Structure 1
Amino acid sequence: WRPAMAALGPVWRALLRARAAGDPAGRRGVRALRRSPVRVLQPQSARSARRAPEQPQPPPPPLRPLWSAARPRRGCGTRKRRPGTAGWGERGERGPAVSRRGSMVTIAKSKKFRDNHRKVLLEGHRLIKDALEAGAVPQTLFFSTVGHLKLLPEAEIKGASLVKVKFEDIKTWSDLVTPQGLLGIFSKPDPAKMSYPAAQLTNSLPLLLICDNIRDPGNLGTILRSAAGAGCEKVLLTKGCVDPWEPKVLRAGMGAHFRVPIIANLDWESIPTNLPDGIQVCVADNDPGAPAGTTSVPRGAGRADSAPDSPKAPVKPSPEAAPEHEDEEGAAGIPELAAQHYYEDWAQIPVAVVIGGETHGLSPAALQLAASTGGKRLVIPVVPGVDSLNSAIAAGIVLFEGKRQLLWRHKQEDGREKLPVPG
């Protein structure tokens, strides 16, 4: 530093004298000396000669589109799952490729999935507990807290996949106003393999129920609940009825699906094979325009949810309920049935009751089956001008009246057996 300043001393003094004399060049020189030094760069050729030889660069990666199948979508969840939590198989095999748990629950609600994969979706402690006690096989249980699992029998849930989720997710999946935090996907129960409660079997009566074109889920669930409460031996559903394993039907049934055998999706040709020998089939009718004592049943009789415009106005039956070969009796193919009030004596051993649908009422096939077994038309009288009863209400009235008559007849027979033998 000092040698450099000593070498610049004469130059500095000369510039100062020029500035004092008023020379503009001197002023510029002084300002130039006060500036910071500038780095001098060598020519490009010299720098290239000193630099080490460059390594060959790899080719750039190919451009990927903004979205592709290999790129995970945001929110799909790429964390590893426990074996069995993403599939439907009973032995570990995967079912449909569902990546989101919410999609699993949504798909389980569809009738197409239930029919193809034989799965049902149950919600709530009571319904799931009833299913487990009846022998239903659980596949996957979604719970928000461990306390929900403590309310279930431990032995029955060992083979199921247990998935803990947030309560907010269950609220999104649930159809209930106040979800309980517990959902389950089960194999569709087989009535022949179910173990129904002992109290239900003990109080069972030779009383059967046939549902004809019941299409409202709430009505069907209430009817099944009444059938279980009355002690029905079996419930048969024709092809025109709503799926009994639909979530709305399950909620309205309040566990009746696991207390009474339910055989669904039957055509009228197969109904007699599911009935015991010697049974009498009666049809429920609350048409206010059809008084007791008449001997013919007009087309469309047996409407349960809405009465026809006129008492004798014919109603066109639904295509699903129409038989393939109509009886040749009468111009319309409708057989004649004796009518009586529902509270009169009609419950023979055994007996089946047919409940018609909300829109079209009893189908001609139901009337033909009743006529072939010597059945009757049971009329529920209502005040004139009042619309006909709801199908679920009509089913409850007739079933519990049938239960009363069967128990009374059983009591009379027991009384005769206990009478002393004369002589």
Structure 2
Amino acid sequence: MLGASGPVFAQGSEIGTEIRESGRITFQDIYDNPDDADLNLAYAKQQAESGDLIDAASTLERLLIQDGNWDSARLFYAVVLYNLDDRKAADREFTLLETRDLTAEQLDTVGNYRQAIQDDADSAGGYKRTVMYTRVLFTSRYDDNAGAVVADTVIGNRGRGDESFGLTLQTGIQHELKALPDVKIFASGTFQNRRHEDFSEADYDVYGVSLGVRGIKDKHSWSLSGNVRSIDINSRNFVDQLEGSASYGLQASQKLRLRAFGRYADQSYKNTETNLSASDRSGHFIDTGAGLDFKFSEKLSATAEAAYQTVSAKVDKFNYEGPRLTVRSRYNVNTTVYLDASGTYRKLDYDLADGETVAREDKFLRLRGALGVNPAMLLAPRYADGLLGKVTVEIAGHHSERLTNSGPDFENTGGEIRLILDF
């Protein structure tokens, strides 16, 4: 059961080896050698075999606090929790392990225990085919050109540094079809807003509702969904959008996942005080692309995506098309701290407007880097199962710019602090 993944901190010492070979390990031995990973693991096995599962669990928890990427120890910990009848905590650990680079034997063990947990819940009448989730996100942000973040186009706002505060609420429900357990229907709602300290022209609100169906079978996954979205700028409706999307994914290997997607949307723009011709942009767009997700190691993963978008507007000069490239990487320092970096590049080629001899061309670049921390796991692991364990604090910096052969260029640099709660 305990596979090849081992600790990255202190290995077994000579003293620890002598203690293990001499017979029974005592708590005093552990107390005197807290950094000896092999000795601590041997003690946890000893206590589990003797029936002292609570002592075994606390020892394994201590090991995982020191090295959250020791998968074999986490698997042992999950099994101990299962035998302690803490099925919720055990399922949490097994769920986490399913995302890790495990051996075939370890994956079988995880699958067997997860199935046992589901069977136990079914027999007790407690298995939930319907799952709900909620995310609440508070943001405090600074931009040195706040007007640039409102839309892809400059809407007449001069560059201005400003602080802003944002709130995002996301809630959703997913239901597994009893007759088709590989298929799930889902619905979600999103509300997002931002209020600036001084620059109210850049305030915005976003409302969205989605409904769809998704499925997964062996290495294949798919999704179909519809979305309605409305965006207000400075408390005035700016654009309404009706969208349909489809996606397909293939788990090509244990480390590589391939995916393809397509979107179609109708958009209806409204004129504003700072953009009297916004309604000329009304029309539709088609967005298609493909991407891949790759896991380099247990800690490092990356995604890359290439897409092409075509926009047809009411007025020809707002028709455009062009590619979009996105890359993102994530490094999990441990189960408590992560680093995240992303970049997006877009190139838009517009149709030639009446009376113009040169067609407009825009290039966009956006970069973001973030450091995320789970304060409960970092400061008070005993509260990880409570409300504090659902909190993530993220500190990020960002930069965006637009280069164009028509009109002014702009750039924006800033930073933000996010408080994220997942339920």
Q: Normalising by the residue count of structure 2, what TM-score does the alignment of the two structures yield?
A: 0.20
Higher fraction of helix: 1
Q: Normalising by the residue count of structure 1, what TM-score does the alignment of the two structures yield?
A: 0.20
State the structure with bigger RCO (CA 8 A, min sep 6), 1 or 2: 1
Higher fraction of strand: 2
Task: Return the index of the structure with the highest Cα Rg.
Answer: 1
